[in-house]
Chains A and B, each alone.
Chain A
Amino acid sequence: MVEQRGRRPEIFQLDDGGLTLAPLEPVVDERALPVAAPPPARSRFGISLGGLFWTALGGLVSLGTGLAISRLIEDLFARAEWLGYAGLGFAALLAVALVAILTREAMGLARLSSLDSLRQQSADALARDDRPDAEAVARALLALAKETPQLARARGELSTHLGAIIDGADLIRVTERTLMGPLDAQARAMVSDAAKRVSVVTAVSPRAAVDLIFVLYTAVTLTRRLCELYGGRPGFLGMVRLTRHVLAHLAVTGGMAAGDSLVQQILGHGIAARLSARLGEGVVNGLLTARLGLAAIAVTRPMPFAALPAPRLSDVAAGLIRKAADEAGEPQPGKRRAGGAEGT
């Protein structure tokens, strides 16, 4: 045993030249720290007044609907037996369809949650450089990518790398580069297309109401398509939640994005507005859509942007700004960057 022993005990004097006192810092276990103080619950009884109201209302409405349907069927039976059976059949179909829809919604929501948690996990694994966690994330993403045919090649590549990479953070980065790279390019194109379409439609639409509706429609479709691209399958409720997340994200990142592109926006708008008011509105609406698209990418992508650069407004709105500039017939500062982004 003796030859394997570590360093022997030793006593040092404080006036020893090599001795450096560490600052008197408390020993804190980072991993034992409470993550964050949970927010105080709104009510002492565990359910909020609003919740109570909606629960009660929902209960009454369902009871009412049920009662109405059963009355209707009874009436139908009273009129003629075959009518009653037909009504019963439709009611059964209704129930089946309702159950199917609810199931789909629930599954959509669950899937969204799992994507969210996957993003959280990969951020954690990246921060802690944790190999087992990173591998779990990589495997989950591989399973997710099975449903995306255009990722077949990337999937094969990653599967061969999986065992070979030792560092957890590296594994996450490689996974992101392989699996997310192709999807990011598509997402960027989608956002860019939607922004262009909105700006064109706004510019030519006869009424403000029309382009308002079109912008809303495009925004919702864009969000849904981005979510589907990154592996989610949002139903109606899922879309509601997703929209909320996107808007929240927009509110948070709005300030940061301002630094990046406010000058560009105002300048672009200024030039365009000098040309024509409608064209200017078109550009503004397009920029808005582009920015919404970026927020949607951020909340639907199952991994944070770590190895790959996050798309910037100038990347997706490049065509838009260039178009505005071209039509204004004069050079503008966004052009150089826009040209660079075209290659991606």
Chain B
Amino acid sequence: MAARITLLDEARIGLRSLLDRVEDIAAPTVRLGVTGLSRAGKTVFTTALVHALIRGGRLPVFEPANSGRIAGADLKPQPDDAVPRFAYEDHLAQIITQRQWPASTTRISELRLAIRYAPRRGGMRTLTLDLVDYPGEWLLDLPLLDMSFADFSRNSLDLARDPARAAMSAPFLAALAATDPASAENETQARALAARFTAYLAACRGERVAMSLLPPGRFLMPGDLEGSPALTFAPLDLSGETAPKAGSLGAMMARRFEAYKNAVVRPFFREHFARLDRQIVLVDALSALNAGPAALADLERALDSILTAFRLGRNNIASALFRPRIERVLFAATKADHLHQTSHDRLEAILQRLVDRALLRAKAEGALFDVAALAAVRATREASVNRGGTLIPAIVGTPEAGQSAGGQRFDGLAEVGVFPGELPASPDALFAADGGFIGLASGDDADSDFRFLRFRPPGGIGAGAALPHIRLDRALQFLLGDRLA
């Protein structure tokens, strides 16, 4: 992969990080990347984190806050003027007053916080915290840098022909079968094919299948690049090893694939990803459990791919000066409030198992990794239900309107108690080769092993009050504790 990061890029990254280090001397800065595949809860996490730092709150595990050493935190103008600002105030208002989750992250955004704190030795310092919130799908693009168009086509089509995705990919594959890569280039045909491809990727994200590994990421969140040639390509069935003829459809697609890498992937890598100091990767393991074994396996592949991206960041270290390393990575299973707290350890074990393969490879890099089950905003309460003498640990919350479970449709107003299913004591049981459990993807709702509903944010939080959370303090301690020592 190293070869594909050009020398020029390398020089620009080096210069940039040198500048960052110089700034660091004047004002110590931490760049914390918040990422996760879509619907993992990035926006909510960032909002809750900022709120917790500004407003304070109950953070017993976050030592600097708990011992009273943090004097306060303020929002500051962000450093990069070209990057959208994270709309913290809007998101917070939406959670508190409208009881709705903020819209999902479709692009990168930044927010700068200045934390005034007293170091253990006394005195007063300011730590600048730059939060960089970006879609995890973009990380899945980083491995593309390593691929030629032929590799990309082979990988994508292998994924598309996977039985778990067959239903979604059928229209695209049918269109593909009718296409000859050697035919003359044709914009109409390219656009039709790209549209089918995009539709297939979008369909894979539905609740019932919940696939994760869907590169190229910008197809699902095009932003202002929508309709540009760089986003109008699709994998082709390239037979043989020979490069497509000039002027053919294949050559056009290959050219656009390269353009995608140059216009989308490389700038993101250079401008944002390569500059991060800390990273939290939010993982929505519960959606995958909801959907079924195929989604879980897909999530594992996607996390694997994300970890490869981190390796990339650390493989070409010339020195800490020219190449900042990501020192700490936290993998967080979000939406822990959808489970009774007695199951949190099991959720953590599942996440550990998901990232295990990837961590093994990354272990030698010297960065710190941790795994936690958390809920940035806790939407439920706990309860126990007595059923003939056995106490069932359940959670109580308001499900979002439009979902149904157990033969009941929710209106988004009534509170219900939910027992979402029992996570296995050993995560390996879920990864059994014959499909360790039954999810929504396999058809009948009544048959599935897990049913995690989406809950609305909790009601009754005042504008100035602290948000309830689960282990947000632990995440803060891991990510920032040492820098506030």
Please give the residue numbers on chain A whose beta carbons come within 8 Å of chain B beta carbons, in ascending order: 1, 4-14, 16, 18-22, 24, 26-29, 32-34, 37-38, 40-41, 43-44, 46
Chain A CB within 8 A of B406 CB:
yes
**Which parts of B357-404 form the interface with A (CB within 8 Å)?**
378, 381-387, 392, 394, 396
How many angstroms between the C-alpha atoms of A1 and B419 in the bound complex? 20
Chain A residues with Cβ under 8 A from B448's Cβ? 9
How many angstroms between the C-alpha atoms of A16 and B449 in the bound complex? 23
Contact across chains for A9 and B451 when beta carbons are under 8 A apart = yes
Partner of A1, one of B394, B414, B416, B434: B434
Chain A CB within 8 A of B188 CB:
no
Q: Which 6 A-B pairs have the closest CB atoms?
A: A6-B422, A12-B417, A18-B386, A9-B451, A11-B406, A37-B67
Chain A CB within 8 A of B63 CB:
yes
How many angstroms between the C-alpha atoms of A44 and B419 in the bound complex? 53
Known: A16-B385, A20-B383, A22-B383. A8 touches B120 (CB 8 A): no
Contact across chains for A41 and B122 when beta carbons are under 8 A apart = yes
How many angstroms between the C-alpha atoms of A131 and B434 in the bound complex? 36
How many angstroms between the C-alpha atoms of A32 and B341 in the bound complex? 15
**Centre residue among A6, A9, A40, A41 by max chain B CB count within 10 A:** A9
Contact across chains for A14 and B396 when beta carbons are under 8 A apart = yes
Partner of A7, one of B384, B421, B436: B421
Chain A residues with Cβ under 8 A from B405's Cβ? 9, 11
Known: A1-B436, A7-B392. A32 touches B419 (CB 8 A): no
Chain A residues with Cβ under 8 A from B469's Cβ? 26
Contact across chains for A12 and B394 when beta carbons are under 8 A apart = yes
Chain A CB within 8 A of B35 CB:
no
Contact across chains for B421 and A9 when beta carbons are under 8 A apart = yes
Contact across chains for A22 and B450 when beta carbons are under 8 A apart = no
Chain B residues with Cβ under 8 A from A29's Cβ? 61, 471, 474
Chain A CB within 8 A of B123 CB:
yes
Sampled A-B contacts (10; CB under 8 Å): A9-B419, A10-B418, A11-B408, A12-B418, A16-B417, A20-B384, A26-B60, A26-B469, A27-B344, A29-B61
Contact across chains for A28 and B60 when beta carbons are under 8 A apart = yes
Nearest-CB residue, chain A, relative to B395: A22
Chain B residues with Cβ under 8 A from A28's Cβ? 60-61
Chain A CB within 8 A of B102 CB:
no
Contact across chains for A9 and B381 when beta carbons are under 8 A apart = no
Chain A residues with Cβ under 8 A from B408's Cβ? 11
Nearest-CB residue, chain B, relative to A37: B67
Contact across chains for B123 and A44 when beta carbons are under 8 A apart = yes
Known: A5-B449, A27-B341, A40-B120. A32 touches B477 (CB 8 A): yes
CB distance from A19 to the nearest CB of B (A): 5
Partner of A22, one of B384, B468, B471, B477: B384
Chain A CB within 8 A of B484 CB:
no
How many angstroms between the C-alpha atoms of A123 and B332 in the bound complex? 33
**Which parts of B175-189 form the interface with A (CB within 8 Å)?**
none
Known: A16-B385, A26-B58. A41 touches B121 (CB 8 A): yes
Q: Is the interface of A mostly helix, strand, loop or mixed?
A: loop
How many pairs, one residue from A and one from B, have CB atoms within 8 Å of each other in the complex?
Answer: 121
How many angstroms between the C-alpha atoms of A19 and B417 in the bound complex? 8
How many angstroms between the C-alpha atoms of A13 and B394 in the bound complex? 11
Please give the residue numbers on chain B whose beta carbons come within 8 Å of chain A beta carbons, in ascending order: 58, 60-61, 63, 66-67, 120-123, 341, 344, 378, 381-387, 392, 394, 396, 405-406, 408, 414-422, 424, 429, 432, 434-437, 448-451, 468-471, 474, 477
How many angstroms between the C-alpha atoms of A24 and B396 in the bound complex? 11
Contact across chains for A44 and B422 when beta carbons are under 8 A apart = no
Contact across chains for A20 and B386 when beta carbons are under 8 A apart = yes
A9-B450, A44-B121 known, 20 other contacts, Cβ within 8 Å: A1-B437, A5-B437, A7-B392, A10-B392, A11-B406, A11-B417, A16-B417, A18-B386, A18-B387, A19-B396, A20-B386, A22-B381, A22-B382, A22-B383, A26-B58, A26-B470, A32-B474, A32-B477, A34-B66, A40-B120
Contact across chains for A10 and B381 when beta carbons are under 8 A apart = no
Chain B residues with Cβ under 8 A from A9's Cβ? 405-406, 418-421, 448-451
Known: A5-B449, A32-B477, A37-B67. A24 touches B421 (CB 8 A): no
How many angstroms between the C-alpha atoms of A29 and B469 in the bound complex? 13
CB distance from A281 to the nearest CB of B (A): 49
Contact across chains for A7 and B419 when beta carbons are under 8 A apart = yes
Contact across chains for A32 and B418 when beta carbons are under 8 A apart = no
Nearest-CB residue, chain B, relative to A11: B406
Chain B residues with Cβ under 8 A from A27's Cβ? 341, 344, 378, 470-471
How many angstroms between the C-alpha atoms of A43 and B344 in the bound complex? 42
Contact across chains for B121 and A40 when beta carbons are under 8 A apart = yes
How many angstroms between the C-alpha atoms of A18 and B387 in the bound complex? 7
Chain A residues with Cβ under 8 A from B58's Cβ? 26
How many angstroms between the C-alpha atoms of A158 and B424 in the bound complex? 38
CB distance from A120 to the nearest CB of B (A): 21
CB distance from B445 to the nearest CB of A (A): 9
CB distance from A131 to the nearest CB of B (A): 18
Nearest-CB residue, chain A, relative to B69: A37
Chain B residues with Cβ under 8 A from A44's Cβ? 121-123
**Centre residue among B61, B405, B414, B450 by max chain A CB count within 10 A:** B61
How many angstroms between the C-alpha atoms of A26 and B52 in the bound complex? 15
Chain A residues with Cβ under 8 A from B474's Cβ? 29, 32
How many angstroms between the C-alpha atoms of A8 and B67 in the bound complex? 43
Chain A residues with Cβ under 8 A from B424's Cβ? 6
Chain A residues with Cβ under 8 A from B385's Cβ? 12, 16, 18-20
How many angstroms between the C-alpha atoms of A13 and B406 in the bound complex? 11
Chain A residues with Cβ under 8 A from B434's Cβ? 1
Chain A residues with Cβ under 8 A from B122's Cβ? 40-41, 44
How many angstroms between the C-alpha atoms of A34 and B386 in the bound complex? 36
CB distance from A267 to the nearest CB of B (A): 47
Nearest-CB residue, chain A, relative to B123: A44
Contact across chains for A14 and B417 when beta carbons are under 8 A apart = yes
CB distance from B485 to the nearest CB of A (A): 9
How many angstroms between the C-alpha atoms of A260 and B38 in the bound complex? 66
Contact across chains for B449 and A19 when beta carbons are under 8 A apart = no
Chain B residues with Cβ under 8 A from A1's Cβ? 432, 434-437
Contact across chains for A11 and B381 when beta carbons are under 8 A apart = no
Chain B residues with Cβ under 8 A from A19's Cβ? 383-386, 394, 396, 417
